[in-house]
Amino acid sequence: MAYVIKDSCISCGACEPECPVDVISAGDSIYVIDADGCIDCGACANVCPVDAPVPAE
Ligand code: SF4
Ligand code: SF4
CB hemisphere CA count around 16 (13 angstroms): 11
Mutate to test the pocket of ligand 2, among 9, 25, 32, 34 (most ligand atoms within 8 A of CB): 9
Which pLDDT score, from 0 to 100, does residue 1 have?
84
Residue 7 contacts by C-beta under 8 Å, 6 or more apart in sequence?
30, 52
Domain count of the fold of the chain: 1
The pLDDT, as a whole number, for residue 55 is: 97
CA 42 / ligand 1 centre spacing (Å) = 5
Question: 47 is in which domain, residue-wise?
Answer: 3-55
Among protein residues, the one whose CA lies closest to atom 1 of ligand 1: 19
Q: What is the pLDDT of residue 40?
A: 97
Which numbered atom of ligand 2 lies nearest the CA of 47?
Answer: 5
Check pLDDT > 90 for residue 57: no
CATH number at residue 36: 3.30.70.20
| pLDDT for 28 | 95
Express each pLDDT in 11-43 by its tens digit: 999 999 999 999 999 999 999 999 999 999 999
What is the number of the ligand closest to the CA of 1?
Answer: 1
CA-based R_g, the chain, Å: 10
The kind and range of the H/E element at 44 are: helix 43-47
